[in-house]
Amino acid sequence: MPELPEVETVMRGLRTAIEGHKIVHVTLNRHDLRWPFPANLREEMLNQRVVSFSRRAKYILMRLENKWSVLFHLGMSGRMLIGSVGQNEPPPKHEHVIIESEEGVRIGFVDPRRFGAIDLIRTADEASHPLLTKLGLEPLSSKLDGPVLQEMFATKRHTPIKTALLDQRYIAGLGNIYVCEALFKTRIHPERTASSLTEEEAHLLARNIQDILTTAIASGGSSLRDYVQSDGTRGGYQDLHLVYGREGEACRQCSSTEIQRLIQSGRSTFYCPSCQK
């Protein structure tokens, strides 16, 4: 599933490829993904220049000259194939939406499992879109720091820190992998209550969340070519995981303990019982 760093990478790829371009062809091969496409989707995109791109949590926003924004969510299996007009013939399987620019760039939205989403919203109203309005702090925002984390979780006396960090209403789009990695790096046990963070821990946790995401985005950047070719495979941050997906393997910090897995709110948590207290 594309996590925040992959979504950021895709957004940057789109920005590089098509920002400033004029959209001259829009092909919709279906009328829905997770939800039906807006009836005016094609019409509002056609003959518009792409003004800018932005990311909010795991949503990509493509802003158009006519003050409409196209919202993309990659769902479980979505990918953006960035190429040239005339490339990808015949089109790849599961390519549901194709956008072509006058300048010759072709963007294909491929999503085999169809949990992705595309919607339209007035640019001025982006923040009040139903999918965006309840989202909490952007994890890479400069606003995320120790005092903010401590304040955020001050009343969470019964919620494990792991669960609280995954709650989109507090921090948006962090994702299971990065929560596990950040708790490990900060040496915090995932079952501790969210309100138990000390000032020092909150400070380190905020810093580690941002470091881990920044590193992941940097390595995602090197796999950008995967989004250019239809047969690309993903590389990237997974080689750098210290705990995630490593159940039963030796801890990379203390070497003497095996990484454990537990289930919290239906999600796997990976941690080292020796290093994380």
Residue ranges that bind Zn ion, judged by CB under 5 A: 251, 253-254, 257, 272, 274-275
Positions marked catalytic: 2-3, 58, 267
Tell me whether residue 94 is annotated as binding.
Answer: yes
C-alpha–C-alpha distance, residues 187 and 182, integer Å: 8
Please say which residue, 110 or 251, places its beta carbon nearer to Zn ion: 251
Positive or negative, the CA dihedral 222, 227, 232, 233 is positive
Positive or negative, the CA dihedral 152, 156, 161, 164 is negative
Q: How far is CA 113 from CA 32, 74, 178, 264, 266, in A?
A: 12, 10, 24, 26, 21
From the CB of 228, what's the least distance to Zn ion, in Å? 39
Tell me whether residue 73 is annotated as binding.
Answer: no
Tell me whether residue 158 is annotated as binding.
Answer: no
From the CB of 125, what's the least distance to Zn ion, in Å? 47
Please say which residue, 216 or 251, places its beta carbon nearer to Zn ion: 251
Task: Look at the chain and count its residues.
Answer: 277
From the CB of 259, what's the least distance to Zn ion, in Å? 8
Please say which residue, 193 or 274, places its beta carbon nearer to Zn ion: 274
End-to-end CA distance of the chain: 29
Q: Could you tell me which residues are annotated as the binding site for DNA?
A: 94, 113, 157
